[in-house]
Structure formats: C-alpha cells, structure tokens
C-alpha cells in the first residue's frame, strides 16, 4: 500500500494494496485516532501490484496511475506530498524494497519521504491505527503471519506462495478439496459431499471434468474461490471438508505461534498481552464454521494474552498511517 502525508492540512498520503491496488489520501494533520472519524480525502483503485505475478512494467504503470488518480481526486499533486508508504505483496527482501524505491524516486519530488513494505505491514497498521507492534494474520487467496516488536524487530511465517506450502490459505484449502474429490473418484480416498457440491458450483457433470477446468486457468484466486463450498460442506457434516478446515486452522495457528515465539511478543512467561490483527476473506466467513474463531481458540490456549483485532479501516489507511508516523518521527529527529 502506498501513502503520502502533506503539511498545512493539504492532501498527502496515498496507499496502494497488493492484489488490487487501493490508494487513499489523508490530511497531514490527524487530530483523532478514532477509526469511525478517520479522515480519508480520496480513494482510487487499480490492478495487481505483485511484481512476481504480473511483472515489473505492469506494476509500475498501475502504481503511477492509481497514485495520480487519488491525488487528483483530493485536489492535490505530488508536490503536496510529504511521505508515501507503499505496502505491496511480493516485497519479501531488501532487494525488493530497493527496486520499488527506485520506481518511486522517478515519480515523486525529492522532498517526499518514501517507504516500501510488505502488504502485511499495512494490514497490521490498519488494526493498531499505525502502531507497528504485535502480529497480523492475513488469510485470503494466500496467507502470511507477520510481526513487529516495539523496538523494530520483525519476523514472518508462511507467505511463500502455494508452491512452497501456504496450506492454510484460501488456495490451499480449495486445492486440498479438489484433490479430495479426485481421490474419492479414483477410489484412493473416502467419499465426500465435496464432489457433488463443487461440481454443482462449477456446473460440471463429472470429476473427470475438473482436470480440464483446473488447468484451463490455474490462477490462484480462481481456485481459492471454492473455499465457501468447503465451509458449507463442513457445516453440513462432511468429514473430509471438516478435516481440511481443521488442518488449515492448525497451519495458520502454527504460523502465528512461530512469529510470536521468535519475537517474544508473549513475554518470558508466555502470558504478555499482544495484538493479533485478523485480515482476509477466509477469516471473515461469518459462518457457523468460523475459521478465525477456531484459530484464536488454538492460539489462546498457548498464549492467553493474545488480543484479536478485526480492523475497522482498510489496509490502505494503515499504510497511510505508517507513512504519517514515520514522517513525524523524521521531522522530530531533524529538529534536535
């Protein structure tokens, strides 16, 4: 996500969000920390910003377009900005940050402070209103657990993509469901209502047709769209679907536990309070089979100080808050 902060009440921050870019502008002076009163001056949308998925050229075009639109809607331009935080999926290494910073320096004036982070940073900040402390769990098409300590240490778990085993993700859940259907059809696994339910959703007549459907367009999001079928099948009592969801819950809980342990967020006795921001469509099912609730139940048994948070503002605003906080810190340090 990207964000910029401007002075004298002028429009500044913008923010862009990895799958679909969301760019927002907020004023330089923020007088309330209440999410219900949070001032957003403008908002713009564009396409995917994961350079691992669509390539660098497409990302650069999409970013510049969405930032220009957001600033225009706010009645502003790049010269009014004071800081930008771009929080993107696919930013996994310092070399990724430096590459994206290079793009931004070609777009913005030299006085604009530029920050580039993984999209999990903006998601965390959306739940903590800009404070980078605690852990965030994002579960959508993919998944990642990411954490920060108050002294700036950070750690992550999962988030390496489906090939490297994000099995708690939406893609992972749906891929296991498809595998279960094929195994049942072959006689290599137990029978499951997932067969009937998935074929009905996809308007197919036989599991054989799943092969053609899958490889005609094996995009991760297209596969992950089957998650609601898995959840509804589990709610109806299907044992295979229930096992898939329980396995996903365990994978996701383990990812959070790994981050918490590495950073010591729980304290030496394991009982310290820490925020756990929960973000992503898979966690917002609002069903009787509540994946997010099950994850919290498992984590709280080990770390009773966990404090789950469902953000009231979008991650783009979280990125804007990160930009604002870092800009304010820069100004204070430069005045010493």
In sign, the C-alpha dihedral spanning 7, 79, 21, 2 is negative
pLDDT band at residue 289 under the 50/70/90 scheme: very high
Whole-number average pLDDT of the chain: 85
Residue-wise pLDDT tens digits, 174-226: 999 999 999 999 999 999 999 999 999 999 999 999 999 999 998 899 999 99
- Residue 6 is predicted with a pLDDT of 24
100-127 residue pLDDT tens: 898 888 888 898 999 998 889 999 999 9
Domain chopping of the chain, boundaries: 2-129+313-335, 131-311
Burial 87-96 (b: 16+ CB within 10 A, else e): bbbbbbeeeb
Q: What is the mean pLDDT of residues 300-329?
A: 91
- Percent of the chain with pLDDT strictly greater than 70: 87
**Which DSSP letter does residue 14 get?**
-
Domains 2-129+313-335 and 131-311 share a fold: yes
| Helix/strand/coil for 187 | coil
On the question of pLDDT at 9 being above 60, the answer is: no
The CATH fold assigned to 2-129+313-335 is Nucleotidyltransferase; domain 5 (3.30.420)
* pLDDT score at 29: 57
pTM of the model: 0.83
pLDDT at 4: 43
- Smallest Cα–Cα separation from 201: which of 176, 168, 223, 180? 223
CATH number of 131-311: 3.30.420.40
Lowest mean pLDDT among 60-64, 132-136, 139-143: 60-64
pLDDT in tens, 28-75: 655 445 555 567 788 787 665 555 555 677 777 877 888 888 888 888
| Residues facing residue 157 across a β-bridge | 145
Residue 336 CB-density burial (10 A; 0-12 exposed, 13-18 middle, 19+ buried): exposed
């Amino acid at each position: 996500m990207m964000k910029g902060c401007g002075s004298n009440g002028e429009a500044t921050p913008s923010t862009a969000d990895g799958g679909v870019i969301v760019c927002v502008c907020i004023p330089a002076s923020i007088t309330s920390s209440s999410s219900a009163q949070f001032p957003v001056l403008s908002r713009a949308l564009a396409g995917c910003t994961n350079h691992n998925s669509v390539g660098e050229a497409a990302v650069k075009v999409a970013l510049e377009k969405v930032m220009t639109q957001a600033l225009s809607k706010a009645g502003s331009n790049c010269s009014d900005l004071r800081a930008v935080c771009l929080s993107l999926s696919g930013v996994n290494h310092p070399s990724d940050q430096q590459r994206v910073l290079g793009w931004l320096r070609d777009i913005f004036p030299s006085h604009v402070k530029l920050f580039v982070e993984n999209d999990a940073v903006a998601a965390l900040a959306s739940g903590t209103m800009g404070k980078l402390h605690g852990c965030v769990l994002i579960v959508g098409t993919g998944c990642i657990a990411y954490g920060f300590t108050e002294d700036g240490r950070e750690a992550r778990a999962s988030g390496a993509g489906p090939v490297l085993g994000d099995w708690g993700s939406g893609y992972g859940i749906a891929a296991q469901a498809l595998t279960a259907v094929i195994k049942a059809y072959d006689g290599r696994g137990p029978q499951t209502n997932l067969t009937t339910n998935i074929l009905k959703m996809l308007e197919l007549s036989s599991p054989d047709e799943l092969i053609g459907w899958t490889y005609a367009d094996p995009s991760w999001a297209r596969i992950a769209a089957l998650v609601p079928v898995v959840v509804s099948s589990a709610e109806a009592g299907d044992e295979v679907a229930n096992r898939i969801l329980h396995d996903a819950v365990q994978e996701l809980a383990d990812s959070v536990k790994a981050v918490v342990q590495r950073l010591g967020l729980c304290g030496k006795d394991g009982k310290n309070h820490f925020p756990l921001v929960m973000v992503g469509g898979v966690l917002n099912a609002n069903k009787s089979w509540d994946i997010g609730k099950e994850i919290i139940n498992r984590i709280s048994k080990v770390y009773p100080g966990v404090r789950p948070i469902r953000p009231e503002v979008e991650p783009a605003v979280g990125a804007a808050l990160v930009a604002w906080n870092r800009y304010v810190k820069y100004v204070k340090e430069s005045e010493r």
